[in-house]
Structure 1
Amino acid sequence: MRTLVALAALVLALSGCTSSPTKPVSDTPSPSASTTPTETTPPPDPGPTPKVGECHLLSFGQAVNVVGRTEPVKCKRKHTAETYFVGRLKLATKAGHVRRVDSQAAQKQARTTCAARLPKHLGRTPRELRLTLARSVYFTPPPQRAEAGADWFRCDVVVVAGPRRLLTLPRATKGFGAAPAVAMCATAAPGTTAFKRVGCAAKHAWRAVSTVDLPGKRLPSKGAVADLMDGPCGDAARESAADPLDFTWSQESPTQEQWDAGQRYGICWVPA
């Protein structure tokens, strides 16, 4: 979490008068006292607000480590992210306090709003989006901009093209969710050392065909997950096979890290 420093108080330069020794009275008028004009400090600059439709050339690291506002690039040039929603953070509390932009409540608002709006932007249902490599990432103002009054959050869509690599996106991503480059495939069967997720437009050996919801607040044991997924994955594999009597499949359970991040489902895979 980023730590925001409190807004420093503005200091005004004040001028004072000094007394001078008594002088004999003369006919020459004495100069009148003058004061130095007060110096004012310009208000802090909150910076520009992001706009829907802006494109960005993000690295994988920038996408997963959300830090401030990145500069947009022209969408006709190479880019890896597009802004599909811009909102305002609810920083005022019912008790009359003001939240920091890096507070848990503010970050949760940005994260959940961006995730909820991504399926409609890409033209897929939330369940269909599970079988893609498209992800929503969000950005909030950097500390110095937040101190100046910036309260926006920005939702970007990115597509993971491979290990620590983002896909170069088309000029516009609205309705892009059904493209082969977005669909989730793999270089080998899940659980093997050669397993790597790639877009289905790249060379691949397996593809994701279905997901199975997993109940409970804690990640079930591997055996329990296998039992829950066996039937649904078998059915999905049968429907995808050219011969309903000759088919195979593999199933992938979420890791503890994925479970903690909100992935409460397993993925069914079939040979491509």
Structure 2
Amino acid sequence: MSAVAVLGAATLLLSACGNPPGTDGSLTNNWKAMPEAAIPTPVAGACYSVTTDDPASVTKWPAPVECTAAHSVETVFVGRFTGDEASQASAPSSGSAGRKTAYETCATEAKTYLGDDWRNGRLDLSVVLPIALHWQGGARWFRCDVMEYKDLNDYDVVQRTASLKGGLSGERAVGLGCLTVTVTSDNRVDKMIPIACTSAHNGEFAGVYDLPDGPYPSGEAARKARLDGCAPVIATYAGVPNDSELTFRVGWISSPFSEVEWGLGNRGVRCYAHKATNLTKSIKGAGPSGLPAD
């Protein structure tokens, strides 16, 4: 009886090692190989709800939300590093050719998405890169993110419930316009609050002046260069000559971007017209008669 039992067990084991019906004896049975793990690439047009005012500093992003839901950041374009930049051990650093190229791409794509240069709006543009771990895992994308500010003085981020697409075209819902400017006793700008041009105001955005390339300018000479650079912007906007009488027609405020922005390739200075007395309409195209020297 013992011998029979052993032989029976051997038979069962041998049967288990055979090929089941419909198989080829291979452990994979011709199944397709699983795809290699890859870092997900972000998508353009996605919106995110984050609490920071600096998207480039976020290391762990939440899942995207519909742009009709409350959010603070919107991705307007997703690009990809190629060539030498893609072969590096880490993502391109600030000031590098690769990062500047990414910023230029983002600025161009944002203009298409928004309808105008993002710097003409109450907006900020961030170039977001993969974190170090994701770069090492093969991620080579860069994201172009835009957020809206309540104003460009306190930089309070707006929680939006609609897309920014087209926000600088047509009615220019997020465009810079007329402002109420308050100045401190030592002649420094304190507040610049957006207001309708039909309401009493003493300031108005005129445009952006780009400084020449080079090291980030600082000090009194840089301040003068920024002010001087805004003079033709103000004159063109108001439709008056850029001559010795300009300062008797209107004053102006220059607002440069940060050194960090400069390192990305943004050398812009926002230029604002400023009057000592209140106006109730725009000075755009006012001409010498609408903006007399006094």
TM bucket by the smaller chain?
0.5 to 0.7
Partner of 2:145: 156
1:195 has 2:186 as partner: no
Q: Residues 158 and 74 (structure 1 numbering): CA distance in 2 closer, same or farther, change over 3 Å?
A: same
Q: Residues 166 and 72 (structure 1 numbering): CA distance in 2 closer, same or farther, change over 3 Å?
A: same
Shift of 1:185: 5.0
Partner of 2:100: 108
Q: Percent identity at matched positions?
A: 24
Q: Residues 88 and 201 (structure 1 numbering): CA distance in 2 closer, same or farther, change over 3 Å?
A: farther
Q: How far, CA to CA, are the matches of 2:129 and 2:76 in structure 1? A: 15
Partner of 1:18: none
Q: How far, CA to CA, are the matches of 2:107 and 2:120 in structure 1? A: 15
Structure 2 counterpart of 1:48, from 32, 40, 43:
40
Report the count of equivalent residues: 224
Shift of 1:270: 3.6
- Which shows bigger deviation, 130-139 or 74-83? 130-139
Q: Residues 59 and 255 (structure 1 numbering): CA distance in 2 closer, same or farther, change over 3 Å?
A: same
1:269 has 2:273 as partner: yes
Q: How far, CA to CA, are the matches of 2:119 and 2:35 in structure 1? A: 45
Instruction: Report the secondary structure of 1:114's partner residue.
Output: helix
- The CA deviation string for residues 64-102 of structure 1, in whole angstroms up to 9 with x for no partner, is 525354421222211122112112222x439x9544225
Q: Residues 84 and 190 (structure 1 numbering): CA distance in 2 closer, same or farther, change over 3 Å?
A: farther
Q: How far, CA to CA, are the matches of 1:228 and 1:197 in structure 2? A: 20
Q: How far, CA to CA, are the matches of 2:228 and 2:191 in structure 1? A: 24
Partner of 2:67: 75
Q: How far, CA to CA, are the matches of 1:67 and 1:268 in structure 2? A: 36
Partner of 1:169: 160
- The CA deviation string for residues 12-67 of structure 1, in whole angstroms up to 9 with x for no partner, is xxxxxxxxxxxxxxxxxxxxxxxxxxxxxx99954422112211113343425253
Q: How far, CA to CA, are the matches of 2:57 and 2:194 in structure 1? A: 22
- Which shows bigger deviation, 194-203 or 63-72? 194-203
Structure 2 residues not aligned, in runs of 5+: 1-33, 241-247, 280-294
Q: Residues 81 and 199 (structure 1 numbering): CA distance in 2 closer, same or farther, change over 3 Å?
A: farther
Structure 1 residues not aligned, in runs of 5+: 1-41, 240-245
Q: How far, CA to CA, are the matches of 2:60 and 2:105 in structure 1? A: 18
In structure 2, what residue type is equivalent to 1:183?
L
Q: How far, CA to CA, are the matches of 2:91 and 2:260 in structure 1? A: 25
Structure 1 counterpart of 2:133, from 141, 144, 160:
144
Q: How far, CA to CA, are the matches of 1:201 and 1:58 in structure 2? A: 29
Q: How far, CA to CA, are the matches of 1:233 and 1:73 in structure 2? A: 40
Q: How far, CA to CA, are the matches of 2:90 and 2:260 in structure 1? A: 27
Matches within 5 A, 1:31-42: none
Shift of 1:238: 5.6
Q: Residues 105 and 152 (structure 1 numbering): CA distance in 2 closer, same or farther, change over 3 Å?
A: same
Q: How far, CA to CA, are the matches of 1:83 and 1:120 in structure 2? A: 13
In structure 1, what residue type is equivalent to 2:175?
V
Q: How far, CA to CA, are the matches of 1:100 and 1:58 in structure 2? A: 25
RMSD: 4.0
In structure 2, what residue type is equivalent to 1:79?
H
Is the 8 Å Cα contact of residues 53 and 157 (structure 2) preserved in structure 1? no
Is the 8 Å Cα contact of residues 182 and 192 (structure 2) preserved in structure 1? no
Is the 8 Å Cα contact of residues 133 and 161 (structure 1) preserved in structure 2? yes
Q: How far, CA to CA, are the matches of 2:68 and 2:258 in structure 1? A: 40
Partner of 2:175: 182
In structure 2, what residue type is equivalent to 1:153?
F
Structure 2 counterpart of 1:121, from 113, 119, 133:
113
Q: How far, CA to CA, are the matches of 1:76 and 1:161 in structure 2? A: 19
Q: How far, CA to CA, are the matches of 1:212 and 1:226 in structure 2? A: 10
Higher helix share: 2
Q: How far, CA to CA, are the matches of 1:213 and 1:47 in structure 2? A: 37
Q: How far, CA to CA, are the matches of 2:226 and 2:155 in structure 1? A: 28
Q: Normalising by structure 1, what TM-score? A: 0.63
Instruction: Report the secondary structure of 2:234's partner residue.
Output: helix
Q: Normalising by structure 2, what TM-score? A: 0.59
Shift of 1:226: 4.0
Shift of 1:208: 0.8
